[in-house]
Structure 1
């Protein structure tokens, strides 16, 4: 398991670096630094490492621990749209503050950085498959089509 823990730790560092680069472009310096710190907490770190890096099948208990870890992560990190959902059945959500909308898009962009691909509008626009407030959806549409500081500035002017 030590190898799994080390590999997951390196993954987190790489992810944080990629998000930091994207956040830096948008002027979100502090958010880029503190992004996903909860992944280092034992409640998240160990279940994630076991699920994704151990190479062994999870028991039902381990799978449940990972599900709790994922829920913990969503509820500790405001850049996750799930944090803002009031009722998933009625698709009711609070509007996300702009800085978290931008951080969420930076998080999405970071995955394309990880795999060495150029960020494409089509890979970023997930708004049809997630539950967000209509205002947040408009902001996401603007950010994912422009992918730049210009989009952020347009949102901030509202």
Structure 2
């Protein structure tokens, strides 16, 4: 059955593809945050272990919401690691130590990269693709990433 949202089928396809790329970014960031949670070492282990848990839990919710947004638009969400790696603009490589500063720098860079990407797409969704619903959703998602980046950045501040 076709989705009748007042958005052309071509625009729905473009929006779904853009959201699929966002979903892939979110999934890769989720995985990297889980890695930090599992592998953190150092004197701040316990606090950072809990901190990363809060962050990956928030990302898990975001992943579900992005996938459901794709479904609301009548398309199927990508759901394999192969698809995510093909769609993401993030890198799964990292070369930092298993300490909080190393993990935080990597995760912060990814949150900032996603924020830039989301900001670049808000006007595209609202204007060109005539999908204010997705534009509004992406704006809210951008705010979540800005908050998570702020929390990470605060850990890098030295007294």
TM (normalized to structure 2)? 0.32
Q: Whose helix fraction is larger, Structure 1's or Structure 2's? A: 2
State the structure with bigger RCO (CA 8 A, min sep 6), 1 or 2.
2
